[in-house]
């Protein structure tokens, strides 16, 4: 059973609208949670990294939140653009130098004009 | 900096053939990784290396081999390709941080492999 579950699996939104992606994890112990953006045919690129002591972090129009007590995270995309069309992957690690990361399956976001 | 580069971008193999996926990074990162990404699944770690001459198995190492003779290069070898190895392969690298700072991984563009 995957230790990182993401929802929804996919979603379609109109350009300019906001959306929120969810990530629930059961990984323990917990050190940090990362959100990656993966464009079609490309490798994942880091958006945010949050440690257990942080509950929100922003990167431009992307805002990630973390509730380490309930083991939930969300990624909010504000004023979506066509270039936001991608897969968004939630990744959890046990230690700061943990090379054995747990990856979610991703949420595919399609932004339409 | 080119970052992490991978070759080839695409490859079709016949069952039983062998090939090497190349990965090079120019960021002087100690750690390097090989992942596979299957449709609808999270990335799975195949092998990793914490420095030249040191490699270790990840979650799904069967059917693969690696070597790390230099800091920059981390090739992945497929021996006797099987249809189950059809996947997209990503190489990544990172520099281990200290003091509780997070070790961020940087990914290459991927190699799409089909075994028929």
Q: Does residue A107 sit at the B interface (CB-CB below 8 Å)?
A: no
What is the mean predicted confidence (pLDDT) over A50-63?
Answer: 93
Residue A9: pLDDT band by 50, 70, 90 thresholds? very high
B96 vs A72: which has the higher pLDDT: A72
Residue of B40, B90, B101 with shortest CB distance to A43: B90
B92 and A CB contact within 8 Å:
yes
With a CB-CB cutoff of 8 Å, which residues 23-42 of chain A face chain B?
Answer: 31-32, 34, 41-42
pLDDT of residue B49: 94
The residue-averaged pLDDT of A21-28 equals 94
Peptide bond into A29 cis (omega under 30): yes
Number of H helices, E strands in chain A: 0, 11
Q: Inspect the interface and report whether the beta carbons of B33 and A99 lie closer than 8 Å.
A: yes
Sign of CA dihedral B80, B83, B84, B89: positive
| Residue of A51 and B62 predicted with greater confidence | B62
| Other CB atoms within 10 Å distance of the CB of residue B40 | 8
Chain A nearest C-alpha distance from B26 (Å): 17
């Amino acid at each position: 059973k995957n230790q990182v579950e993401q929802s929804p699996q996919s979603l379609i939104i109109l350009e300019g609208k906001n959306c929120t992606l969810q990530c629930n994890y059961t990984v323990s112990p917990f050190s940090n949670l990362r959100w990656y953006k993966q464009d079609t045919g490309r490798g994942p690129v880091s958006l945010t990294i949050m440690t257990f002591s942080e509950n929100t972090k922003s990167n431009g129009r992307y805002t990630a939140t973390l509730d380490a007590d309930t083991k939930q995270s969300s990624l909010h995309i504000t004023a979506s653009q066509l270039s936001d069309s991608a897969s968004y992957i939630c990744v959890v690690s046990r230690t700061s130098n943990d090379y054995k990361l747990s990856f979610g399956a991703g949420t595919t976001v399609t932004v339409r004009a | 900096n080119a970052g992490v580069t991978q070759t080839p971008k695409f490859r079709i193999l016949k069952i039983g053939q062998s090939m090497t996926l190349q990965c090079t990074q120019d960021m002087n990162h100690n750690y390097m990784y090989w992942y596979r990404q299957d449709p609808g699944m999270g990335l799975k770690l195949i092998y990793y290396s914490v420095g030249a001459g040191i490699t270790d198995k990840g979650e799904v190492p069967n059917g693969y081999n690696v070597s790390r003779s230099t800091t920059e290069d981390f090739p992945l070898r497929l021996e006797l390709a099987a249809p189950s190895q059809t996947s997209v392969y990503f190489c990544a690298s990172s520099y281990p941080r200290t003091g509780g700072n997070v070790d961020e991984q940087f990914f290459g563009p991927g190699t799409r492999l089909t075994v028929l």
